[in-house]
Each structure stands twice: as structure tokens, then as C-alpha cells.
């Protein structure tokens, strides 16, 4: 969050540039279809079982490895270095005037898949870093005189190595004696079991099936998820409720029969905020004067359900934080008045939490000792000031392992009524392999809400693989979809936006756009060009920076968005 009005906060400079550079090249996969039954895989050594035979990798960047692999015994590992992006390619024989589906499985760093020399429109697609196997797919049509195309994978400069496996170029036989046989429908998965449950989710696991490229999960006979691995978490469930599940295996040849049915029962509600309303509005309250209206806690409008006091300060002890009320900057607001106002808000059913971080905050929790210091110091602030919980707004990086440890330790001290919110930047929630996203998933059984900051970011990828520009309803909905479809419960997702044009360097959207995005996600109405495949009526709500900038603009944001949030289904 910004302390200085109108100035963008520090952020990773490559993230926005990367998204902007790639915006023109990222293609929609909507047109990529399944291969016909008579099609063959025209690629040679498509699973890298014969080393790099048939493949050429730039600057010696490629090698075969035995782990991780998607299928068979080997996979490609390619490592970008310096000005080399680790491009590995092969020439594939094709027929003229024919349509082909290009696909591969990738893991690790940023990974790209493409075809050139098609004689028509060359194609490519990509994905951010991924901790598990993910399928990239696109398609192309050859020209009237095209008899070969170059297919390739590559990574991105300065990023981690990527892995690729089981590449396919399905289409008419080009006469090049491709290396893989036609696929057959996989067998029915066995071993389906309930691995764990929360009050709103059931986690499933099953045995792998040979030849499967993915799996479909069914709840009560309705498909609710499609995954590439042998586990899935079904979210958005009611507490203390039994659900039945089945799973099938899929590949390009089709879908298997459904597995035996298992039943999972969600736990009773764990609290996650006590009497917090189903749909809530979060506002950050500034403990400093940066030109916005100076407020007392008592001045914050009643539309705000969670008030995040900004910010705690780091201490010389690693991981530890403290809070110092800026009485001088807040026109003589005293600690006793502050504490009394916190109690009054709580008596009115509101939650007041302490926010850690912000634009300038640097709190390092990167080992067991600093994790313990963090938990102990935050709990001490809760006892001293009456805070209901903590907000994590660390914009300079966090360690998922030790932040998870710290928050679980805090939860054990504070109990089930603890509020935990997060305010990551957009880049932090682009992939489940990012530390912020990992932390949220690690603590989803005690997490209240993630209010990602949909501003100061530039263009970003949506869940459909397309690039969207900030400041639009599509930016809000397509990026929220990433969290909603990758493990967080709808009740744990909120839309974080500036309260006015002065509240952020860029990305302001009018309250009407925020309300349209809420309607699109919760009701399936008022969408832009992007429309989610399903609705999320349990969506938590919205957040703004800040209550002070809202007051400066006559509380226009909370007066418009607050009632709309509280009226969601």
C-alpha cells in the first residue's frame, strides 16, 4: 500500500515489463481442439526417451533428466542463461493445408511452446512458473506448400529452468514416421480417497493411470474440476455437509469410466473471524498523514467490516514487529482514545486488525527464530491494543515456509476467532508456485480473506491465458478467477482497489466497475468480455486503500461499494 499519494509503490520491475512485452504474443487457446481419432503424433522422440535425439537446444541449454517426468522415464530440462532463453526445437514433417494440434507438458520456470514456418500464421503459447505439470496447447494450419514446420519450447531470460515432456503434433500423417503411437482411452482410476477436509473444502487423492494426461473430478455426478496431477481440492462447500466424489482419467483419445464413489464430510465452521458477515468490506486506516483526510478509528464509516491499521513497524529483532501510534501526525490522537475506539468498533460488530508491511515495510520472516518472533510480537500487539488479527501486506517478498509457520503459531495462541487477511500484489498471485500464493494455500483452513491489490501493476494474465489491462472489469474478474480456480475458497477472495485516483499510482476503477465485477463473479451478470465458467456466490467482497482516501473523496467508494457487497447473494 502506498504511503505517498499518487506514487506507485516499489515492485518487481521485470513483472510489468514482461507482461507488456508478451501481451501481443499470448494467444487464446479457445480454438485449440482435440485431435481426430485418425490423427497421429508427428513429433519424433516426443517423450525424450532417446535423450535429445531429433532435438536441437540453443547454447547447450538442454539435457534429459529422470525426475521430474510427466510420462515414461525421461523429460527435457532446459536452463536459460544470460541472453539465451533455452530454446529446444525439432523439424516435424506435415501435410499442406492441414490442421495440427500442438501440445506439451511443462513444469518449473516460465515455459513457452510454439510452431514456426507453418506457411500461415505461426503460433505460440506460454505459462508462468509452475510447481506441477501443466499442459500447454495451441493449434495451427499449414500453408499450401508447407511440408515441415519447426516446433519449439523455450524459457525466459533470467528465470528458472523449465521441464518439458510428452510433446505432440497431432494431425494428418506427414510421412515423417513420428515416434509415438496413437493414444487409447485410459483405464479407470483406482484408490480414490479423501485426504483431508476443512469447513469449506474436501481434498482428494487417487492412483496415477498409465497414459492419462489429466483427470476430471465429479461431485454428486457433476464435473467440478479438471487437473493434471493425482490430487484435487474441491472448495466452496458448506460446513458439516457430506458430499460424494468420483474421478475419471483423460487423454486425447477420450475419458475413462468413473471411479468408485467416495464420501467426504466437511468440518464444522472453524470461525475464521467469528461473527464476520458472509460478504465483507475491508478498509486500510492510515496511521500517518500523507495528504489524505486524517481520521480516528471512530471516524471510519460503518460500511467497513474489517479495518486494517496501517502499519506495524519492524524492530531490530528479526521477524518482530511493534506498533507506534502517530499521535502528532493524527492531530493529537492518543493511545487511550485509539484503544477505546477499537473496542467501540468491535462492539458494533467490526474487526480491527494490525497490518504488517506496506510499500516501505520490511519484515523478514525467513527462519524458525524469526517466525517465532513474528507470532509472539503480533500476539502481544493483539493483547495490548485489542486487535482481532493480522494483515500480511509484505510487498518486498516473503518466505512461504516460515510465514506459514509464523501464522500457524499465531493461530494457536489467538484461537479460532483470529482474523488473517493478505494483500498481495497482482504478480504475487499469478501462479500457485509464487510464495504469497503458496502461503495462502498453506493456511487456507485458518485464512479469512486474500484482498489482492488490482492496481499499480500494469497488464497481467487472467485465468484464460489472455493479458488484461488494469482499470477494467475484465482485469478484476479474470485475475480473481486465478485464485478462485486454484485452491482458495470463494469466501477467501476479495477485490482490492484504490478508493480514489489519489490512492494509487495507477489502476483506479470507479465504484460502478467494482460493483460490476462483484456481480460478474457472484451472479454471472454485468461481466465484460471475460465471463467465468461458473459463479462464486460466496465471494467475500472488496477492499480499498484507504478509508482516509475514501473520506477525502466524500466516502464515495464505501457509500457505493459497501451496500453492494452486503447485498450479494
Note whether 429 and 419 are within 8 A (CB): no
359 classed as catalytic: no
Q: What is the pLDDT of residue 397?
A: 77
Note whether 520 and 532 are within 8 A (CB): yes
Q: What is the pLDDT of residue 12?
A: 32
Q: What is the pLDDT of residue 476?
A: 98
Convert the pLDDT of each residue in 390-449 to its tens digit: 999 987 778 999 999 999 999 999 988 899 999 999 999 999 989 999 999 999 989 999
Q: What is the pLDDT of residue 6?
A: 42
Query: Which long-range contacts (C-beta less than 8 Å, at least 24 apart) are formed by 216-223?
Result: 216/247, 216/248, 216/250, 216/255, 217/245, 217/246, 217/247, 218/245, 218/246, 218/247, 218/248, 218/258, 219/243, 219/244, 219/245, 220/244, 221/246
Rounded Cα distance between 45 and 290, Å, is 61
DSSP state, residue 125: E
Q: What is the pLDDT of residue 3?
A: 54
Residues 6+ apart with CB under 8 A from 24: none
- Catalytic residue selected from 49, 255, 359, 395: 395
**Cross-strand pairs, 15:** none
Q: What is the pLDDT of residue 359?
A: 62
CA neighbours closer than 13 Å in the CB half-sphere of residue 280: 29
**Cross-strand pairs, 245:** 219, 262
Q: Which CATH architecture has domain 38-171?
A: Sandwich (2.60)
Q: What is the DSSP string of 31-57?
A: T--PPPTT-EE--SSTT-TTTTTT-EE
**Crossing angle, helix 511-523 and helix 473-484, to 10 degrees?**
40
Note whether 183 and 211 are within 8 A (CB): yes
10 Å Cβ neighbour count for 547?
29
CATH number of 193-265: 2.60.40.10
Residue-range domain boundaries for the chain: 38-171, 193-265, 271-566
Q: What is the pLDDT of residue 62?
A: 95
Residues 6+ apart with CB under 8 A from 255: 185, 216, 248, 249
| Residue among 119, 139, 105, 143 nearest 27 (CA) | 139
Rounded Cα distance between 77 and 87, Å, is 11
Q: Look at the domain 271-566 and name its fold.
A: TIM Barrel (3.20.20)
Q: Which helix (H) or strand (E) holds 558?
A: helix 556-566
| Residue among 221, 212, 211 nearest 246 (CA) | 221
**Crossing angle, helix 511-523 and helix 556-566, to 10 degrees?**
10
Q: Which helix (H) or strand (E) holds 431?
A: none
Rounded Cα distance between 235 and 446, Å, is 14
Q: What is the pLDDT of residue 71?
A: 81
- CA separation (Å) from 149 to 95, 121, 210, 337? 10, 12, 30, 73
Low-confidence ranges of the chain (pLDDT < 70): 1-38, 177-183, 239-240, 268-274, 358-361
**Cross-strand pairs, 234:** 202
Q: What is the pLDDT of residue 210?
A: 85
Amino acid at each position: 500500500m502506498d504511503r505517498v499519494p499518487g506514487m506507485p509503490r516499489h515492485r518487481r520491475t521485470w513483472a510489468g515489463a514482461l507482461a507488456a512485452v508478451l501481451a501481443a504474443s499470448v494467444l487464446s487457446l479457445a480454438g485449440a481442439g482435440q485431435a481426430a481419432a485418425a490423427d497421429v503424433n508427428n513429433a519424433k522422440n516426443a517423450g525424450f526417451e532417446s535423450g535429445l535425439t531429433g532435438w536441437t537446444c540453443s547454447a547447450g541449454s538442454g539435457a534429459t533428466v529422470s525426475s521430474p517426468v510427466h510420462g515414461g522415464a525421461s523429460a527435457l530440462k532446459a536452463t536459460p542463461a544470460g541472453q539465451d532463453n533455452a530454446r529446444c526445437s525439432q523439424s516435424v514433417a506435415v501435410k499442406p493445408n492441414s490442421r495440427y494440434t500442438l501440445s506439451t507438458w511443462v513444469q518449473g520456470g516460465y515455459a513457452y511452446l510454439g510452431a514456426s514456418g507453418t506457411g500461415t500464421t505461426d503460433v505460440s503459447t506460454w505459462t508462468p512458473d509452475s510447481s506441477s505439470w501443466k499442459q500447454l496447447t495451441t493449434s495451427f494450419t499449414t500453408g499450401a506448400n508447407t511440408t515441415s514446420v519447426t516446433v519449439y519450447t523455450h524459457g525466459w531470460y533470467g528465470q528458472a529452468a523449465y521441464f518439458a515432456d510428452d510433446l505432440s503434433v497431432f494431425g494428418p500423417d506427414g510421412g515423417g514416421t513420428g515416434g509415438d503411437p496413437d493414444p487409447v482411452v485410459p483405464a479407470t482410476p483406482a484408490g480414490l480417497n479423501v485426504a483431508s477436509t476443512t469447513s469449506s473444502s474436501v481434498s482428494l487423492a487417487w492412483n496415477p493411470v498409465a497414459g492419462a494426461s489429466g483427470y476430471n473430478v465429479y461431485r454428486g455426478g457433476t464435473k467440478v474440476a479438471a487437473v493434471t496431477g493425482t490430487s484435487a481440492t474441491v472448495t466452496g462447500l458448506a460446513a458439516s455437509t457430506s458430499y460424494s466424489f468420483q474421478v475419471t482419467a483423460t487423454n486425447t483419445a477420450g475419458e475413462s469410466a468413473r471411479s468408485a464413489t467416495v464420501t467426504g464430510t466437511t468440518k464444522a465452521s472453524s470461525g475464521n473471524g467469528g461473527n464476520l458477515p458472509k460478504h465483507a468490506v475491508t478498509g486500510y486506516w492510515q496511521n500517518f498523514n500523507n495528504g489524505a483526510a486524517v481520521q480516528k478509528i471512530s471516524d471510519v464509516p460503518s460500511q467497513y467490516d474489517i479495518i486494517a491499521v496501517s502499519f506495524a513497524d519492524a524492530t531490530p529483532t528479526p521477524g518482530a514487529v511493534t506498533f507506534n501510534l502517530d499521535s502528532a501526525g493524527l492531530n493529537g490522537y492518543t493511545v487511550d482514545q485509539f484503544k477505546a475506539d477499537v473496542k467501540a468498533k468491535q462492539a458494533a460488530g467490526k474487526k480491527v486488525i494490525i497490518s504488517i508491511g506496506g510499500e516501505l515495510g520490511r519484515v523478514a520472516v525467513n527462519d524458525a527464530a524469526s517466525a517465532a518472533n513474528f507470532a509472539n510480537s503480533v500476539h502481544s500487539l493483539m493483547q495490548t491494543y485489542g486487535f482481532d488479527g493480522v494483515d500480511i501486506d509484505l510487498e518486498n517478498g516473503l518466505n512461504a515456509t516460515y510465514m506459514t509457520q509464523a501464522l500457524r503459531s499465531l493461530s494457536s495462541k489467538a484461537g479460532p476467532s483470529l482474523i488473517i487477511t493478505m494483500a498481495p500484489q497482482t504478480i504475487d498471485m499469478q501462479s500457485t508456485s509464487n510464495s504469497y500464493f503458496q502461503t495462502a494455500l498453506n493456511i487456507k483452513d485458518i485464512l479469512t480473506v486474500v484482498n489482492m491489490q488490482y492496481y499499480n501493476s500494469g497488464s497481467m494474465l487472467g485465468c484464460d491465458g489472455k493479458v488484461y489491462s488494469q482499470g477494467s472489469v475484465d482485469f478484476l474478474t479474470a485475475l480473481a478467477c486465478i485464485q478462485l480456480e486454484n485452491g482458495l475458497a470463494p469466501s477467501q477472495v476479495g477485490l482490492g482497489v484504490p478508493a480514489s485516483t489519489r490512492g494509487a499510482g495507477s489502476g483506479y476503477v470507479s465504484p460502478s466497475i467494482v460493483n460490476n465485477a462483484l456481480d460478474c463473479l457472484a451472479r454471472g451478470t454485468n461481466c465484460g468480455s471475460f465471463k467465468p465458467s461458473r459463479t462464486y456466490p460466496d465471494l467475500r467482497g472488496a477492499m480499498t486503500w484507504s478509508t482516509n482516501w475514501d473520506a477525502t473523496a466524500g466516502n464515495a467508494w464505501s457509500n457505493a461499494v459497501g451496500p453492494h457487497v452486503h447485498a450479494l447473494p
